[in-house]
Amino acid sequence: MSQKILVVLGATGKQGGSVIKSILADPKAKSLFKLRAITRDTTKESAKALESQGVETVSADLGNKESLIKAFQGAYAVFSVTDYWSTMDTNVEYSQGKAAADAAKETGVQHFVWSSLLNTTKSTNGKLSNIEHFDTKAAVEEYIRSIDLPASFYLPGFYMSNIPGQALRKDDSTGKYVFQLPIQSDAKIPVIDIENDTGKFVKSILLNRDATIGKHIYGASAYLSPQDIVDGFVKAFSKDGQGASFKIQDDNEYKGVLAYFGMPEKVQVELLENMHLLNPEFGYYAGADLTESHSILTDELTSWSDYVKASPAFKDLQ
């Protein structure tokens, strides 16, 4: 049986890299799919590392639809992801996502997997209307649906990597660890180890095409409360007797920290609203259950406790 070509955009990034890693690690998936990694520069070390694992690398640019059409020739499936934060321009991200979808449509791709997110302006009835990196991906999803491209939609959760050393760190004045964000104590955080677990979800989407076409697959290992985050940290380092607590951070304090690191007001507002989205009034996934998304998986997802235990940010506790 001949292999089907799977094109992976963002192949040297966190999400695309995870997809490639998961396919290569699974004998069944590896036998079914021939991997084609898309990168703007096939000469860089990360691209060469992929080639050493038997992955074809092709140069293409999301800003150039014609280059994508060439890269997608003969492909059965495409995993597509865009990076809002590289430009912080909704028009650029939308045009990139649209270009990938149009190229897939024109080349006859049979399964397009789009890394999407909810339209939070709609899901919150306009109360949180500045989360551009969600809304733009949702707009691309809407476009994909409008052109009848056979597609599944992977919605990554809250990156575990955003917590160690950032939201969860030692208070130098007390020597204790504090997890603080401008969220309520009953917030529900859908956490994911983005680099290890994205591929587990996307691989399962690809292996279950008929069951996932047109559907949202929520990429999170679990919904955790702030106290669950604290408890997982304590569990990971219990032998060291480390305590921790949760603190509801003031909105202005949170924005002040972002300002300190050079983020403009627009980004401060966007990220603050992104945090408020975690509160029960709204919900990162608007209250969606994770059971169906987990039902297609064949690999165990990374727990928060295991993730934090291995985090370089806490190497002094390991």
Is it the case that residue 203 has pLDDT exceeding 70?
Answer: yes
Provide the pLDDT for residue 194. 98
| 33 in Cβ contact with 5 (< 8 Å) | yes
Place of tokens 């038997």: 54
Q: In angstroms, rounded to a whole number, what is the distance separating the alpha carbons of residues 16 and 115?
A: 10
Q: Which CATH superfamily is domain 4-157+194-219+286-299 in?
A: NAD(P)-binding Rossmann-like Domain (3.40.50.720)
Alpha carbon distance 81, 275 (integer Å): 22
Which pTM was predicted?
0.96
Rounded Cα distance between 210 and 150, Å, is 10
Q: Does residue 96 contact residue 63 with C-beta atoms inside 8 Å?
A: yes
Instruction: Assess contact for 115 and 81: CB atoms under 8 A.
Output: yes
Q: Specify the pLDDT at position 1.
A: 58
Q: Is the model's pLDDT at 242 over the cut of 70?
A: no
Torsion sign over Cα 145, 200, 164, 304:
positive
Scanning the structure block, which residue is given the tokens 């008929």? Answer: 210
pLDDT in tens, 123-173: 999 999 999 999 999 999 999 999 999 999 999 999 999 999 999 999 988
pLDDT above 70 as % of the chain? 98
Q: Tell me whether strands 176-181 and 168-171 are parallel, antiparallel or unpaired.
A: antiparallel
Give the domain ranges of the chain.
4-157+194-219+286-299
Alpha helix segments (H runs only) across 26-155: 27-32, 45-51, 65-71, 90-106, 120-123, 132-146
- The tens digit of pLDDT for each residue in 72-103 reads 999 999 999 999 999 999 999 999 999 999 99
